[in-house]
Structure formats: C-alpha cells, structure tokens
Chains A and B, each alone.
Chain A
Amino acid sequence: MERQRKAVALISGGLDSLLAAKVMLDQGIHVEGINFFTGFCVEGHTHAIRKKDKDKQKRNNALWSAEQLGIKLHIVDIIEEYKDIVINPKHGYGKNLNPCLDCKIFMVKKAYEWIQEHDFDFIITGEVIGQRPMSQRKEILPVVANESGAEDLLLRPLCAKNLPETKVEREGWVDREKLHDFSGRNRKPQMALAKAMNFEDYATPAGGCCFLTDKSYSKKLGDLWEHRGEKKYELDDIMLLKVGRHIRPNERFKMIVSREEGENHFLQGYRKQFDSLQILNFGGPMTLVDGITSDEDCEVAAKIVARYSQGKHEKSVTVEYRRKDGEVFEINVAPFKGDEIPEIWHV
C-alpha cells in the first residue's frame, strides 16, 4: 500500500491557509503547520500593549487554525534572518515597506529546508492567483517556487487548477480534480468553501499579515532608518514603532509619547535604554526620547509632553527629565498650544 504522504502547510492564521490545509487533510494527507514569526506580525502585540484593546480576543490565529484543523503547529522565530529580507529585498518593496515577494520566497525556502529535515513530502500554501497585487500575480507564483528551491514540491490547493501540474499531482499523491481554481480578489469562493467546511469565526485581519503593509508604520520605519543613518533594526525598535505618538521636533531626537495606560506601562520598561519624561504635578503620558538632546531640546520635549498632559491649559507644568545614564532634573514649562506642534513633526 502507498504510504501516507506528508505535507507542511504555511499557516498564517488567515482563512486561505486554513482552507488549503483542510483541502489536503480531506485528501488523506498528513498535514502539520508551520508559522514564521518575523517580529512584524500584527496579531497580539498591540492588543497586549494597549489597555483599550484588552477586551478584544487575544487568541493567536495560527494556533486557533491549527486547533480547528487538528494538526500540529510549529512556530519558528525568524526575526534575525528576516532582517536581511526587510533591509535588502532583491525584488523590492510593495506599496509600503513590505517586501512581499522576497518574504514569500524566504518562507517557502525555510519550509523546504524543514520538509527535508523532517522527511515530509511537500509544501502547501493558501496563495490564490491575483489576490495580492505584488506577490500573487500569475507570473510571480513560479518565481516563489523556483527561487525558494521548492520547485514543484510547492502546491497551492486553492488555485492549483490554474497552474501547471506539480510533482505532487503528477505522482498521484493528491487528486488534482479535487483541488480548486480560485483567482482574483473576490473572496466569495473562499467564504463559500469555509461555510461548506463548517469553519466559522475565522480571522479576517484588515491590515494583512504584518505591519510592513501599513502606511503609517512604514513611514516610521523609514524615518528610523533615515535618522540612524543606516538601514538596521533590533526587535525593540520595531516593537516601539507599534506604540504611541512619534514626534520628531528636529534631526537630533524623536519622542515616543504614550497614548494610554497600557502604553505607559509598556514604555516604562524602556527607561534604562532611553531618556524619558514624566509630568510631576499632573497626570500625563510616559514619554521616551530616542536621540541626543541639548538643554534647549529637553525644554522643547517637556513642552510637548505637557501639551498631552492633564495640565495642558495650565501656565506652568513641572516635567521630570530622566537621562538613561540615571541623571534626573526638573523643568518647568508652559505647555505648547496645539498649533505650536507643527504637523510635520508627527512621524
């Protein structure tokens, strides 16, 4: 008897990867999931940080998908290796700083290495032709298979019928007739299939799978690179870009001003790595300073923080400025009026 074939499914937590894995399970394939953590993933983080989001569902959608499917899920930390993809994408960026094509190639390549190490037969993804402008065009899908090295061990069950046959189908490991021919941006076929498979309550992340597709996030990352004079980042940098108001009064420094209690608490954890400001005589936001500040800069920073405090209409507010080396001093300032913080300062 032919042995049961084994596939690893790239599970993002979205509907498409859930359906693709289920299509394979229904054909008797042994499926396990793999999920890559890049550091830019949308889910979880902002909910975990922001108090106002605390009531929202905090489930990890990739784990939820795996549990619905009854499959194992291997979560792989690729933060370090992924930096090169974000910093030097061979195929360039999408609309924002999202290197989608290089990212797909990289993830399929990692999955290909994984199936070789674990003696699995092939890889599946939930990609659908034409669904995403950059990385899922018909002429682009073979690029992912070729450059990742996976070649025809990469199967896309949701649109396989629109693509040339892969080894997986040729060898009869799966029945091509039972695969799908979805294409384009219309989500109705996927929703109908989800209904037929009894999946409800699946994730529909509005912003896609990661922060790099987000315009305002990409702008902040671009600003960070520009002012550091090099395209580099650490995990803390990209986490901090998800939090607070980012205000850059001049070339020397940027401020991260908390917007609510959860962010206050989160930013407090960084007081040994950054200079920080806090209002002493009114309620106000925890604020970090990234850069090197002169005395004059400290005063500008204090006026900005005062503007976002409960003392914003007062004549004078006392601000504690704490340098990361431990030096602490107080500054009394008149809070800026709204129009004294030019729009251009907001990153």
Chain B
Amino acid sequence: MIELDARKLFCPMPVIKMQDEVAKHPVGTLIRICSSDPGALNDIPAWARIHGHKLIESETVEREYFVTVEVCEDK
C-alpha cells in the first residue's frame, strides 16, 4: 500500500496528490492518503467515482482524515 501525506494541505491539493499518484501506478495498487482537511472525505471519493477508481475505505481519526483508493482501469 502506498501512503500519501497531505496534512496541512487544503482541498483540492489532497485530490491533486491522489490524482497524480494514481497516474503512476498499475491497476490494483492501493493508495492511502492522510489529510487534515475534512473536505478530503468528500472530494477524494468523488474524484475516484468520476475516474472509475474504487473507494476502499474512508475514516476519521481525531482531526485527521484517511481515504484509501484502489487504482482501476481508467474508464
């Protein structure tokens, strides 16, 4: 699993980080991002839906927000 740190960045920067990382990896790769902006809980799943990637998990731990996406075939 690839871990991305997007703490202290505000949306859409965490989305851009996820988008750019996904572009580098083959289908099946799991990418987990940690953000301090709660907007990431909406924006990253929305971005994944649009591009046909799979949302595996999203969770809140205190003031940090984690979203895991599986890279799928780009539609």
Give A292 Cβ to nearest chain B Cβ, in Å.
Answer: 25
A72 near B75 with CB under 8 A, answer yes
Interface residue A317 (Cβ < 8 Å from any Cβ of B):
no
Interchain CA distance A206-B15 in the complex, whole Å: 24
Q: Given known contacts A48-B11, A60-B12, A239-B10, is B50 in contact with A72 (CB within 8 Å)?
A: yes
Among candidates A60, A265, A269, residue contacting B43 with C-beta atoms closer than 8 Å: A60
A45 contacts across to B, CB distance below 8 A: 10-11
- Contact check, A58 vs B38: say whether CB atoms are below 8 A apart: yes
In the complex, are the beta carbons of B51 and A72 less than 8 A apart? yes
A37 neighbours in B (Cβ, 8 Å): 12-13, 16
A75 is an interface residue with CB less than 8 A from chain B: yes
Q: Residue-by-residue, is A80-94 near B (CB-CB < 8 Å gives 1, otherwise 0)? A: 000000000000000
- Cα distance A132–B38 in the bound complex, in angstroms: 33
Whole-angstrom distance between the alpha carbons of A58 and B38 in the complex?
Answer: 8
A243-279 interface (Cβ within 8 A of B) = 265, 269
- Selected contact of A73 from candidates B8, B47, B63, B75, CB within 8 Å: B47
Measured between beta carbons, the chain A residues less than 8 angstroms from B49 are 67
Given the complex, which residues of B lie within 8 Å of A58, measured CB to CB?
11, 38-39, 42
Secondary structure dominating the interface of B: helix
Find the B residue at minimum CB distance from A239: B10
A-B pairs under 8 A by CB, number: 65
| B75 lies within 8 A of A77 (CB) | no
Q: Contact partner of A47 among B16, B19, B39, B46, CB < 8 A?
A: B39
Q: Cα distance A47–B47 when bound, in Å?
A: 19
Chain B nearest CB, measured from A259 CB (Å): 18
Q: Report Cα–Cα, A71/B19, bound state, in Å.
A: 15
Docked CA distance A45–B38 (Å): 10
In the bound complex, do residue B43 and residue A48 qualify as a contact, i.e. CB atoms below 8 Å apart?
A: no
Among A35, A41, A63, A269, point to the contact of B46 (Cβ < 8 A). Answer: A63
Closest chain B CB from A21 CB (angstroms): 13
Minimum CB–CB distance from A145 to chain B (whole Å) comes to 27
Instruction: State whether A75 and B19 are in contact (beta carbons under 8 Å apart), knowing that A44-B12, A60-B12 are contacts in the complex.
Output: yes
Whether the Cβ atoms of B39 and A44 lie closer than 8 Å is yes
Complex-state Cα separation, A44 to B15, whole angstroms: 12
Contact A75 B39 (CB under 8 A): no
Cβ contacts under 8 Å, A60 to chain B:
11-12, 15, 39, 42-43, 46
Closest residue of B by beta carbon distance from A60 = B43
A15 interface hit (Cβ, 8 Å): no
> Once the chains are docked, how many angstroms separate the CA of A55 from the CA of B75?
33
Contact (Cβ within 8 A) A67 B46: yes
Q: Is the CB of B16 within 8 A of A75?
A: yes
Q: Which of B10, B42, B49 has the most CB of A within 10 A?
A: B10
As a 0/1 sequence over residues 2 to 27 of chain B, the CB contacts with chain A under 8 angstroms (1 = contact) are 00000010111101100100000000
Chain A residues within 8 Å of B, Cβ to Cβ? 35, 37, 41, 44-45, 47-49, 54, 58-60, 62-64, 66-67, 71-77, 239, 265, 269
CB-CB nearest 4 A-B residue pairs: A63-B46, A44-B11, A58-B39, A48-B37
